[in-house]
Amino acid sequence: MTKWKRANPSGTRDVLFEECTLKEEIEQRLRRVFISRGYEEVRTPTIEFYDVFSFRNRPIDEEKMYKFFDHHGRILVLRPDMTIPIARVVGSTMMKPPLKLTYSGNIFRANKSMTGKYNELTQTGIEIIGVDNLRAEIECIVSAITALQDVGLTQFKIEIGQVKLYKSIVKKLSLTEEDEAILREYIENKSYTGLSQFLEEKKFDQNDETVQLLQRLPRLFGGLDVIDEAESLAANAEMKEAIQRVRDIYETVERLGYGHYISVDLGMIQNLDYYTGVIFRGYAHEVGDEILSGGRYDELMEHFGESLPATGLALEVDQIVRVLKEQNPPSKEEPTEVLIHYSLETIEEAERLRALYIKEGVKTELSMMSSLEETFSFARANKVAAVVDTSGGKLKEYAWKEKWELEKEGETSCVTFKSR
């Protein structure tokens, strides 16, 4: 019964020491950037009812949810997503749009073993609810760029895609649901050969503009020239409008001076049934996994009340930590320079003395050892150069020189002792 008590569940890990400090710092810095841009914080429970995530076009497969029962027999889940609970909050509290919301927390998804993916992830993100124009997408992209810059990332790209374009192509070609699923896999995996064979098997007219656009879709990634090519092949107003939205966003972000952080990928298909328009995916040079994802999801809010347009994205904090560790391995904290030994009767004096050292920029801590000899041993093991003993009638400072030698002895007042 105790065989697992020293192990972590699959897909989870302990975060220790410098990495833990770095992760906490990144979350706080991302949070401060978003708050400074006018986003208001929300926090939702780690445990939600299964019904919150049980609807058509949900982004998380049921098999990936951690499910269990409460004492009434109702199905609960560990939160597998942050956006859907926020939609629940907005719908149930009747918040007045437009809203700019930010969050940070852990999500839980049961990935297949041996994939290298963790099942517990930390996300910090933003949601803009009630805005249907492209200001929402631009605000999301610029907020993400400034946040990533603030935490120290310099080499990253945010790819801009357009689900609406793909949906328009599928609708015009009248593909079945089964054929569309096969097609989606070819495009998402940029399988040029598979896509060509698929189009040949379906006997589509190779001279048709829509077929030509579909065949080019996996290759349409890069800059404005990609948008130009897509526009030249667009067969109807719906496709042209979808492509124009990408152009407008790209050109606006470029005018703001962030052009080198963005690119276009019209072959990017990301949770097709969930997103309804422009989508985002961000990568850093040091890691292969995405550091952000998101997009427009105008059909989600209607599941929780009023139908509202919405756009958002999530930053993957664990991946950002990984990138920063690759760029600049975290340095160990400055070692303790002074260790203060004390008795319980002299703890006030020890704390005052520590405060004086800290004020002077000397890293100092109180000893946890009950005897001076144990404090000396601990100091040697941890390369602490000086020990101050406050436990007797006088304050004594020792320094290591082949052995512990008394360097200074003074009054019981730490202020007087430090000034000598």
17-327: CATH topology is BirA Bifunctional Protein; domain 2 (3.30.930)
Instruction: State both tokens at 416.
Output: 């007087």
**Residue-level pLDDT at 60:** 82
**Residue-level pLDDT at 359:** 94
**Residue-level pLDDT at 24:** 96
Peptide bond into 98 cis (omega under 30): yes
Instruction: State both tokens at 195.
Output: 């896509």
**Residue-level pLDDT at 286:** 75
**Residue-level pLDDT at 1:** 56
At the top level of CATH, which class does the domain 338-419 belong to?
A: alpha beta
The amino acid present at 420, given as its one-letter code, is R
**Under-70 pLDDT residues of the chain:** 1, 113-116, 271-272, 329-332, 412-420
Beta strands in 216-309 (DSSP E): 221-222, 262-265, 278-284, 292-296
**Residue-level pLDDT at 230:** 95
Tens digit of pLDDT for each residue in 325-359? Answer: 888 765 667 889 999 999 999 999 999 999 999 99
**Residue-level pLDDT at 326:** 85
Query: Per-domain residue ranges for the chain?
Result: 17-327, 338-419
Element (H, E) at 113: none
Residue 23 to residue 318: CA distance in whole angstroms: 7
